[in-house]
Every structure is written in C-alpha cells, then in structure tokens.
C-alpha cells in the first residue's frame, strides 16, 4: 500500500511539471514586459529592474524556467503586487474558508445525492425515478451563481432567516454550502442511479433476494456497498467542479476564500497571486484524486495495490 502511494506520488511529477510549464508560459504570453506586469502599474523603474533581475529575465528561457521551478519547489510563489505580502501567506490565510465550504458542500451533496440515486434505481421508471432524474438534470443545468442569488432573495431578503453574505457563524455557512452542494448533488445522484441499476441486475443480488433477505439489506448491504467505487470516483472528480463553483459561490456570498482571492487578483491584474492560486487549485485537485485512489482499497478489499 505504502509502495503504491509512493509510486502514485512519483507519477504526479510529470503532471506537476506540465502545470509549471503552463503557468510559466502563461506569464510570458502577456503583452508587454512581464517585470512591469508583476510590479504593477504604480511601480518605479528601480522596482521593475529589481523584479527583472529576480526573475532572471535577461537569461535564456530554459534557465528562467529552471529557476522558476526551484522557487516553486521551495513554495516561494512571490509577493502580491497589491499587498506586497508573500502569495503563500495570502493563500494560507484563505484556504481554511474554502476547505470548510468544500467539505460541508460535499457532505451535503452525498447526504442527499446518494439516497436520491438509490431510491431512483430501486423504483426505476416510476414517478420517483423521473422526478430524481429530471431534478438532477435541472441541477446540472442551473447556473450556480444564479441559484445563490435566488437563495439570498428568498432566505435573506424575504424571509430574513439567514445572512446574505460574510462569515462569522454557522448561519453564514448555510447558503453558500447549499448553493455549492446543489451543483454537485445532481452528478452524484445520476452516477448513483446508473451504478445501482447495473448492480441490482447482477446474479448475486438475485441470490441474496432468493435467500429471503429483506429488500433493505439487499439494497444497502449488497448492492450499494458494491456500487460505491464509481460513486467515490465521481465525488472525487466533482471536487474539481466544486473548486470552479467555489470561485462563483464565494463571489456571490462575499466569502473570503481562495476563489474570491483569484477573482480579486484577476480584476487587479495581480499576476503572482493569480499564478499561485491556480497552482494551489491544481495541486489540490491532483491530491484529492490521489486520495480517491487510496480510498478504493478501503472500500473494496478486492483491490490490492502492489
């Protein structure tokens, strides 16, 4: 198992190198002088010159890339052009907020998505199934930021039950996490339904039923347990979707997370922060997929990694 994890960690290296190349050239694609762009509009010629030397822009491109890679390995992501704080500190300060939102949203999505998918698969082609299927399709088609705005109108403006934005209490978490979850729940319900439908048609399920087991035991203990692998995969994949959704949700609810940081940085053309946050998002996405791979072993004892 440990060997497998180490192997998987090593297999991440080419992808990480690919990401670093993308981010490196992203800055070189900018029109004009990268040093000027990084220093910001108000920078003096001396500051621009210092940044040019720091970045080694007078050296060949491969040397520039290697020194950029060296800084990345040390997690030196540079300084924000706006606040002059180290980028890693800016990200570190907001990471817990985004993580909280993501974890609550994924939890809510599983809590509603898996049972909805199971019920839909147990009663296929009935009105319950059609309701779940259509509900899931509606969820996938709904712009997450619009749903957020509508929830604010209903629960903050009309009913005055919950705050419209900000942080500080559990009430502040409700609307953003429900908004984010609504987006993912649809995918989880769809995947659970199709996997359960396939599993419920297998021979061992007929055997379990013919043994006289209760239907709940057959569905939950025999079918759902075996259908969990694709469901966990889809939950892992939806994490990327969740990060994209977090950018929009955090903007709607003025939630101080990484998603909001990236938007503010784009609007202020603060490139070190943009590069840093995108890199961290990419890393998080890869790590979650690794965690999902490892989770397979826990869920399914038939899988053994050599």
Partner 1 sequence: MSEETEPNVCRPAELPSENRWRRFWVKLRRNKAAVAGGVLLLLYVFCALLAPVLFRGDPAAPNLILALEPPSFKDPLGTDELGRSILGRVIYGARISLLIAVGVIAVGLLIGVPLGLISGFFGGKVDFLIQRATDAMLAFPGFLLALALVSVLGVGINNTVISIGISMIPLYIRLVRSCVLTVREEVYVEAARAAGTRDGMILLRHILPNVMVPITVQTSLGMGTAILFAAGLGFLGIGVQPPTPEWGAMLGSARAYLFNAPHVATFPGIAIFLAVLSFNLLGDGLRDALDPRFKI
Contacts with partner 1 by CB under 8 A lie at 14-15, 17-19, 21-22, 26-27, 29-30, 134, 137-138, 140-147, 149-150, 152-153, 157, 164, 183, 187, 190, 237, 240-241, 243-245, 247-248, 251-252, 262-263, 265-267, 269, 271, 274, 278, 281-282, 285-286
Instruction: Give CA–CA dist 270/38, Å, rounded.
Output: 7
Query: Helices 225-252 and 271-299, interaxial angle, to 10°?
Result: 160
Q: 272 near 87, Cβ under 8 Å?
A: yes
Instruction: Give CA–CA dist 116/128, Å, rounded.
Output: 9
Q: Which is nearer to partner 1, 87 or 243 (CB)?
A: 243
Q: How far is the CB of 143 from partner 1 (least distance, A)?
A: 5
Instruction: Give CA–CA dist 226/207, Å, rounded.
Output: 15
Instruction: Give CA–CA dist 121/114, Å, rounded.
Output: 11
Q: Which is nearer to partner 1, 77 or 218 (CB)?
A: 77
Q: How far is the CB of 108 from partner 1 (least distance, A)?
A: 18
Q: How far is the CB of 102 from partner 1 (least distance, A)?
A: 12
Q: Which is nearer to partner 1, 99 or 241 (CB)?
A: 241
Instruction: Give CA–CA dist 37/43, Å, rounded.
Output: 9
Q: 3 near 304, Cβ under 8 Å?
A: no
Q: Which is nearer to partner 1, 222 or 281 (CB)?
A: 281
Q: Which is nearer to partner 1, 147 or 208 (CB)?
A: 147
Q: How far is the CB of 73 from partner 1 (least distance, A)?
A: 17
Instruction: Give CA–CA dist 277/87, Å, rounded.
Output: 8
């Amino acid at each position: 198992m440990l060997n497998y994890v180490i192997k998987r960690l090593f297999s991440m290296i080419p992808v990480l190198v690919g990401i670093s190349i993308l981010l490196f050239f992203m800055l070189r694609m900018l029109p004009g002088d990268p040093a000027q762009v990084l220093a910001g509009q108000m920078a003096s010629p001396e500051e621009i010159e210092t940044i040019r030397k720091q970045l080694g822009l007078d050296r060949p491109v491969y040397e520039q890339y290697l020194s950029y890679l060296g800084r990345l390995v040390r997690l030196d992501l540079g300084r924000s052009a706006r606040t002059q704080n180290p980028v890693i500190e800016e990200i570190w300060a907001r990471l817990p907020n985004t993580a909280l939102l993501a974890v609550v949203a994924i939890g809510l999505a599983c809590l509603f998505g898996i049972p909805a998918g199971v019920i839909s698969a147990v009663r296929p082609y009935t009105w319950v199934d059609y309701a779940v299927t259509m509900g899931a399709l509606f969820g996938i088609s709904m712009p997450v930021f619009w749903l957020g705005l509508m929830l604010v109108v209903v629960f903050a403006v009309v009913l005055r039950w919950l705050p419209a934005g900000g942080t500080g209490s559990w009430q502040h978490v409700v609307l953003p996490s429900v908004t984010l979850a609504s987006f993912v729940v649809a995918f989880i319900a769809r995947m659970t339904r199709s996997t359960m439908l396939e599993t419920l048609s297998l021979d061992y399920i007929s055997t379990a039923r013919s043994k006289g087991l209760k239907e709940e035991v057959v569905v939950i203990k025999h079918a759902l347990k075996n259908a969990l692998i694709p469901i966990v995969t889809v939950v892992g994949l939806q994490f990327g979707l969740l990060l994209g959704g977090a950018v929009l949700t955090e903007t709607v609810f003025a939630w101080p997370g990484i998603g909001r940081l990236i938007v503010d940085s784009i609007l202020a053309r603060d490139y070190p922060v943009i590069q840093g946050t995108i890199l961290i998002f990419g890393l998080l996405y890869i790590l979650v997929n690794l965690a999902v791979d490892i989770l397979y072993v826990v869920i399914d004892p038939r899988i053994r990694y050599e």
